[in-house]
Amino acid sequence: MSAVAPEDAPGRRASDRGRYGKLSRERVLVAALGVVDAEGLSALSMRRLGTELGVEAMSLYRYLPGKGALLDGLVEALYQQVEEYLAREAGDVPEGWGAPEAADAPATGAPPASRAAPETQAAPQAQPGAPEARPGAGAPEARPGSEGPGWRAGLQRIAHAVYAVGLRHPEVVPLLATRMLSVPLARRPAAVLRVDENVLRLLHEGGLDTDTATAAHRAFTAWLLGYLLVDLRAMVDAPEEPDPAFRLGLHRLPAHDFPRLRESAPSLAGRGGRAELSAGVDALLDRVIRGAAGAR
């Protein structure tokens, strides 16, 4: 009688070899990002992820101990893409910026996911009637705010990198805010901390003292995340409707209660885009500089 192979023995632990080969933390996160991009954050669970990878859900806990770790991993994956976006700007990567990690470069045989090469990655589908979304994390184009002092240009590059990656993965963007409410600073992924570190470094390079740089960092982060969330907010009520008013569901808003909102809704449905993002960052930095000069 032939011996039973260890992997076939009764009581074996759940296999970590799925349809895409042996699992790794990076491969699990790539698959998770693909599920969220395609089906939304509410669809993500260990069971759904196990089905996607062709393994039992229990096998995933070796790489991510729970749902919280999985969500933090998605945040980490997005910030790694931010680093890669910046790295593609040859010669423009701030000194000391951490090298992108392997999580965003799945090994051969990794599951198909949304993080395709920039030239093949489809941009997020624009809302009907809204301006066409700009490309995601592809080769960056010339944009407002890219000129000026090195530290200010560096902050603009970071802002545009986060914005572009957010447009590629809109279903994950809410986690950039909500996970920061749950995870203490020292426990956040290294890729997240590197962004914070380099924002602060650039502000210090601009001549700001520690207190002023801290306030500027807080304002910069609030503007960037807030702008991204507003640009990605749901506006279209009935995508199949050809008439803009019905598509936006304006008939649901009583005219006597919300006259200005009804009037502005078609404009609100569009995205502010890179130009408004840059203008906001510049206005914020101008105010910080004036305040610092007045305090001297």
| Number of other CB atoms surrounding residue 4 within 10 Å | 10
| DSSP string covering 16-28 | -EETTEE--HHHH
Instruction: Tell me how far apart the alpha carbons of residues 79 and 270 are, in angstroms, rounded to a whole number.
Output: 25
Element housing 173 (H / E): helix 173-182
Distances (CA, A) of 86 to 100, 191, 229: 10, 13, 21
Count of CB atoms within 10 A of residue 282's CB? 16
pLDDT of 147 strictly over 80: no
Cβ burial of 174 (10 Å; 0-12, 13-18, 19+) is middle
Residue 292's pLDDT band (boundaries 50, 70, 90)?
Answer: confident
Distance CA 59, CA 152 (A): 46
The span from the CA of 11 to the CA of 242, in Å, is 58
Helical residues (DSSP H) of 9-135, grouped into ranges: 25-39, 46-53, 67-87
CB atoms within 10 A of CB 129: 18
CA proximity to 97, closest of 197, 186, 185, 165? 197
**What is the average pLDDT across 137-163?**
72
Confidence band, pLDDT 50/70/90 cuts, at residue 17: low
Question: Which pLDDT does position 143 carry in this prediction?
Answer: 47
Write the pLDDT tens digit of every residue in 199-238: 999 999 999 999 999 999 999 999 999 999 999 998 999 9
**Per-residue pLDDT tens digits for 48-75:** 999 999 999 999 999 999 999 999 999 9
CB 76, CB 67: distance < 8 Å = no
